Amino acid sequence: MRVDVKKFLFVGFRGALQAFFEKAQEAGLVHFIDPRRLKAKEVPQKIQDIVNAIKVVRELPTLKQEEPEKFSEVNVIAEKILSMKHDIERLEEEKRTLKLEISRVDVFGDFSLEDIQHIEKETGRTLQFYFGKKGTVEEELPDEVIYIASKHGLDYFMAVNKELKHYEQLVEMKIDQELHVLRSRLEEVQNDIVRLEASLKKYNKYNEFLHYALTVKYNAHELDKAASYVEEPIEGQLFSVEGWVPVNRVEELKHDLADTEVHLAEISLNEGEEPPTYLENKGYSRIGEDLVHIYDTPSNTDKDPSLWVLVSFAVFFAMIINDGGYGLLFLAGALYYRFKNGQLKKAGMRVWKLLVVLFGSCVVWGLLTNSFFGVSIGPDNPLRKVSALHWLVEKKAEYHLKQKDEVYKDWVKKFPGIANAEDPQAFLLGAKKESNGKTAYEMIDKFSDGILMELALLVGIIHVCISFIRYLGRNWAGLGWVIAIIGSYLYLPLFLGATSLATYGFGLNREEIAQGGLYMIYGGIAIAVILGIVKDKWLGLLEVTNVIQIFADVLSYLRLYALGLAGAIIGQTVNDIAGSLMYLPALILIGIGHGLNMVLAVVGGVIHGLRLNFIEWYHYSFEGGGKLFTPLKKLETD
């Protein structure tokens, strides 16, 4: 949840300054204000060096951890690590360059540059080396051009001339070092790299110490930075500093500062001053808060969207992955990671819980829709009994069978055998085709696709309506738009000649709800405009222009269906092709095909799952642009 913050003035004797800031840092409740509004101080280079050194040692093989005799050695250790890493990178680049140079000149053999110079001096001739594209040797070349060999897709030549000469189809090569010199230097470089890497690996033993040293150094830096915000009304005797404090933590702060002899008093905000945004979440709401900060910080008047974003993201991610089998693999991987890494803390634990929520939702969605690794599950399979999608398919078939409507007639025309069906099961199973030994239940597939598309739209309608409802206090016109959106869902099936969930699932008369839906559309738009005028005067008339935007935002949720369908088709195609191959090639294809499909599905799930929250949903219930509440607090290692 978002908690309001208040602005306080802290005043105390100059002698209590250090103790006050140390206590404030331990409490972690005060966001101190820089009165000069200066640009934030850069983190000192020595701290940056420690951070960079940690990045290096954490990639090295794990060793038993040790500490140096003196804490002050931390910067010397960091400098040595970075120096060796820099030398290794420099040598790796030289190694790459040497290999390229060797591959360029070894076609001419290991000759002496001194011998070449001697020949040129004694004969008065010039020796030149060239290369040309493959096939140049087959062209008519001057007699003085001698073909040497072909390598790396190129033809290599040498020419002996009285003076330097250039040929249109050839590129001259300059050879500055002899081949044996290059090879000798390459060997030296490789040996130096091995030696430095061996030395660098020993520094992993300082990994934990470097993390500890980083917290100590960074906390001291933050303490000094906060202390620089102090003003001295009576120089040398009193100090004062301003800061933001969450309203629900004021008493706790007073208790923590009780023995510092520093007094605090609430003060008013300066003109145009905006308080920072303080979000206080625990459990799964805290995970949602991490997602919220990916896009933007809520304003200090926004409602906290953390839990809404997490739940919506999990639903969208599952619908886009659209495969319980993939979800099981992902979930097993997450559980294995937890097993191998023991107790996770703080951010690591939150990331792991997020993965479990996402992958668990994929498994649930897979059970509800009977989708596992793109395998077609037969209508008599026991898994169908727990499938909500199959239940809806049967309800839809039952409705059309009972109504004997146009949909029924079209299916009977295509499959005359189902004309005598007396129950939805027989109606569905009768609409089938057999090809290459496989049976395709066309009506089940057709109804399933239509239901999934409608569910994607329904999810979008609910999601956008929730967004409007959350901000009704700020945007009164949202009430009208909620009514209009619901009315559109009720009316459009009749307009499109389709059958909606409201009809076959809940037994509502399509014509009656469509008529009511039409009234809701016009009435909702009218209410939105009227409430807009009441709130914003004549500018409220512009509310009617939101019709297209809202319509487009709701339709945007069709991507949930489209992406899920695309992944399912790829999975089925991989299975079909693999079924026609031998055992080993089939396994390889299944591994590669489903592997790529999983990667694409996860990328789509993350991007579009978050996008629907941050773009379509935020549009109606999020102002953003806030300044994050960043109190002075101690950084701790996990």
pLDDT tens digits for range 35-57 = 877 666 678 899 999 999 999 99
- Residue 430 tokens read as 């009768």
The H or E element containing residue 10 is: strand 5-13
| Alpha-carbon span 504 to 507, nearest angstrom | 5
pLDDT of residue 484: 95
pLDDT tens digits for range 268-307 = 988 888 999 999 999 999 999 999 999 999 998 999 999 9
| Alpha-carbon span 264 to 418, nearest angstrom | 82
pLDDT tens digits for range 244-260 = 999 999 999 998 888 88
**Could you tell me the CA-to-CA distances from 603 to 69, 429, 600 in Å, in that order?**
48, 37, 5
| Alpha-carbon span 263 to 265, nearest angstrom | 7
Contacts of 583 (CB under 8 A, 6+ apart): none
92, pLDDT greater than 90 = yes
- Please state the pTM of the whole predicted model: 0.83
pLDDT tens digits for range 358-404 = 999 999 999 999 899 988 787 878 878 888 999 999 999 999 988 88
234, pLDDT greater than 80 = no
**Spatial contact of 147 and 137, defined as CB atoms under 8 Å apart:** yes
pLDDT of residue 497: 87
Collapsed DSSP state (helix, strand, coil) of residue 167: coil
- Residue 309 tokens read as 């974003």
Where are the domains positioned within the chain? 111-177, 284-446+557-621, 471-555
pLDDT tens digits for range 474-523 = 889 999 999 999 999 999 999 988 899 999 988 899 899 999 999 999 99
Beta-ladder partners of 132: 155
Contacts of 492 (CB under 8 A, 6+ apart): 498, 517
pLDDT of residue 39: 62
| Alpha-carbon span 48 to 218, nearest angstrom | 10
* DSSP track, 98-160: HHHHHHHHGGG-S--HHHHHHHHHHH--EEEEEEEETTGGGS---TTEEEEEEETTEEEEEEE
| % of the chain beyond a pLDDT of 70 | 99
Contacts of 172 (CB under 8 A, 6+ apart): 128, 129, 130, 166
Higher pLDDT, 323 or 140: 323
The H or E element containing residue 241 is: strand 238-246
Across the chain, what does the average pLDDT equal?
Answer: 90
Per DSSP, 545 falls in state G
CB count, 10 Å around CB of 8? 19
pLDDT (average), residues 567-577? 91
452, pLDDT greater than 90 = yes
Helix and strand numbers (H, E) in the chain are 22, 12
Amino acid at position 618, single letter: Y
| Alpha-carbon span 16 to 261, nearest angstrom | 7
pLDDT of residue 41: 66
pLDDT (average), residues 154-176? 87
Lowest mean pLDDT among 140-149, 295-304, 559-568, 589-598: 140-149
Residue 137 pLDDT class (50, 70, 90 cuts): low
* Candidate ranges 134-148, 435-449, 580-594; pick with highest mean pLDDT: 580-594
Higher pLDDT, 346 or 285: 285
